[in-house]
Copies of this chain bind each other. A is one copy, B any other.
């Protein structure tokens, strides 16, 4: 089985590429390296002794996609390629819509032209908007995302739903990620955002390693136990494993299928911070700032549908996540650069 992994050099993409190679799949990675490094794929090779074929290019490039499908007998596509910074998406909406929406449309057209109809799409819990109750089930209505990043994920979900209705031969998995953190336990692969991190864990760990001065905690007056926002953090290696299970589940099973990928547990910003301090053995300075617009108080998954239908369940807990993050960050204070 040969899998095309778009965005396969990125944070989640590279961990999934590793899992695919370890499970015996052949992997072709397409990545434009705009927010990733091919060093991630060298790390993959160092860990498992197998390598993916890396093609540098853009998912919006239809001619390139056509060539890839002509030259490789691709069985399925895992589609990670996309822009993912919420704040940047507000400032540069066209880039987000082009890469995330137009890119996905172009990919699907190239797949259809090549006769490839199995697709796993990286969606996000952001498509739920602000749900009225927790935990979040897949049959909750989707909400109205408050930023172009979230909009782009919801639009692609809806495009794929329309596609599945029109062309029943497609097998599509929409994986709604909660908050992926952590790193491979080798300490040689992890999250390596370019510029100032947008997400909690890389930010905390860059403070701990001395690259940044202090963490901003956005809001401590939410209606949660300690006032800070609560999220369902999931270890990236568990998440990668979820992709393999989804890929297998839709083999021979047409239609469109939605699965939450989360642990089912919520942790507050302060809980994560304290856990991280334990893991790294030093205090992480922070400052409380006003809430960010668009942030919700809490969000965690009902992960039972994935367990029942995919036989998948996250096995790594918060301490594993922060310990692995710290191992990666302290081994590689400059990410993949050094």
Q: Which residues of A contact B (CB under 8 A)?
A: 90-94, 97-98, 101-102, 105-106, 108-109, 112, 148, 151, 155, 158-159, 162-163, 165-166
Contact = CB atoms under 8 A, between A and B. Distances in A.
A92 B94 CA distance: 24
Given A90-B162, A93-B159, A101-B101, 6 more contacts: A90-B166, A93-B163, A94-B112, A94-B159, A101-B102, A102-B105
A106 B98 contact: yes
A106 to B, nearest CB: 7
Contact of A101 (B93, B105, B148): B105
Residue of A94, A102, A106 ringed by the most chain B CB atoms within 10 A: A94
Complex copy number for this chain? 2
A283 to B, nearest CB: 38
A92 B162 CA distance: 9
Question: What secondary structure prevails in chain A residues at the interface with B?
Answer: helix
A105 B163 CA distance: 20
Nearest to A142: B144
Nearest to A95: B109
A184 to B, nearest CB: 36
Contacts of A165: 90, 93
B93 A97 contact: no
Nearest to A156: B97
A139 B292 CA distance: 27
A197 B87 CA distance: 45
Contact of A166 (B93, B155, B166): B93
Contact of A98 (B90, B97, B109, B158): B109
Contacts of A97: 101, 105, 159, 162
> Counting chain B CB atoms within 10 Å of each CB, which of A92, A98, A102 scores highest?
A102
A101 B101 CA distance: 8
A98 B105 contact: yes
A170 to B, nearest CB: 11
Nearest to A102: B102
A165 B97 CA distance: 15
A241 B315 CA distance: 64
Could you say which of A92, A98, A165 has the most chain B C-beta atoms within 10 Å of its C-beta? A98
Contact of A102 (B91, B93, B106): B106
